[in-house]
Amino acid sequence: MEDIFYDILEELYFIQTFDGIAEKLNLESNVLQRYLWKMYDSGLVKTMVNFDEEVEQNEEEFEQNFKKYHYIASKKGLMWHNSL
């Protein structure tokens, strides 16, 4: 995987907002959106509507609401991140 996946997961050991991730990694909104979707679709990242409620979605829902979500690495994502 690309280095950016590693960098994003580095920020997701704790729940983060979309804007917080974008600012910390200095990424354009549309670029971060694409990477987060790939990571969500691969099971590396969870999307949360708040700090304790996960939401499952399809790509269309994600594209409409990605800025509203909070993000955190999944167990699979943490294991992948720590294996590098």
CATH code assigned at 39: 1.10.10.10
Q: Can you name the residues that pair with 63 across neighbouring β-strands?
A: none
Which residue reads 């594209």 in tokens? Answer: 63
Given this model, what pLDDT does residue 54 score?
A: 93
Question: Looking at the 3D structure of the chain, how many domains does it have?
Answer: 1
Per-residue pLDDT of the chain (84 residues; tens, 9 = 90+): 578 999 999 999 999 999 999 999 999 999 999 999 999 999 999 999 988 899 998 999 999 999 999 999 999 999 999 887
Given this model, what pLDDT does residue 47 score?
A: 96
Q: Quote the DSSP letter at residue 56.
A: -
Q: Distance between CA 63 and CA 59 in Å, rounded?
A: 6
Q: Can you name the residues that pair with 47 across neighbouring β-strands?
A: 71
Given this model, what pLDDT does residue 19 score?
A: 96
Q: What is the pTM of this model?
A: 0.92
Asked whether the beta carbons of 47 and 70 are under 8 A apart, the reply is yes
Which residue reads 């990605």 in tokens? Answer: 66
Residue 77 belongs to domain spanning: 3-83
